[in-house]
Structure 1
Amino acid sequence: MHDSELMVRRVLEAGARGFVSKSSAPECLIDAVHAVMAGRRYLSPGLPSQLLQQGVTPAQPLASLTQREFEIFRLLSRGDSPEDCARSLHLSRKTVSNHQSLIKEKLGLCTTAAMAHLALRHGLIQPEVC
């Protein structure tokens, strides 16, 4: 919506693969979707391209997790319940729930679905095909 350099930089640092300004032509949204789906990054025309180089690399937010948190993140992201995670890692459900809260806080996420989306973006889990 906003296209100030600061806003664009913050969005990219948060892990966005592209940015389309509200003032952009509708075709730009289509171009952006195609670019991101092809693994490229995208900025609306008129925004400085160097903003793409200034963004945080995708793995950095995940690098803040401990090894145990990363393990739990991966399991929860692929759809395992906290009980399943606890059982497979020989932990209590409460411990897994505590880790889950810390993971969400560290990554700035609110839901397990957001965790799954992040894991998909980073290739940590594969999408299920029905």
Structure 2
Amino acid sequence: MNKDADVNRVSANASAGRVRVLIADDHALVREGLRKVLELDAAIALAGEAASASETLSRLEQGGVDLVLLDLLMPGCTDVDLIERIVKAHPQLPVLVLTMHADPHIARRALEAGARGYLTKDISTELLIEAVHQVAAGRSYVDPTLSAALIRPQTEVPQPLEQLSARERQVLVALVQGRALIDIAAELNVAPNTVSTYKSRLMEKLGQSSLSDLVRYSIRHGLAG
């Protein structure tokens, strides 16, 4: 995709007040709800929907998108991986994260990965629409409930989840999603025993004694949906 064309297209649509939004979320009911909300604003047009990382990237290659409204975790990616992939392939395309997690650590990580905005799913319709226009116009927008926490210096000791390697996080997210060890191994191109080793290491690092405890811990700390 021509990057200069990307810049001109986003600028033109922003100045014209019409924003073409791609909704990327793996839950059909969420996509339906977001579609109805965005349709309330005549200055926003739906550019399509995606239910996985691969669908999102494939749709973006077709062009005609001015902003990605992105769930933080999608099938086929881990943590902020999809944000990084979108930004790398389409550096001028704004990504606005919409997630259920109001954790400033997660928000900071998403913004550092290249997202230009971060919202939680309990935000009002009015603020969601405002955020879409602000981010599409090249500005940043963070959920008001998180803004103060994000500008404070990070003086606290990192949580255990923050200290996991990229591969450990990848395995952890797959486990939280209920994936079988053999399927995770096939996706990562490693032996099932290797995935089992990762699982044991994760349980040790996070201080959990069983897979169910590991999953519950991860969900509480923002590694789900």
TM-score, with normalisation over the residues of structure 2?
0.29
Larger Rg: 2
TM-score, normalised to structure 1, is: 0.49
Structure having the larger proportion of residues in strand: 2
Q: Which has the higher contact order (CA 8 A, sep 6+)?
A: 1
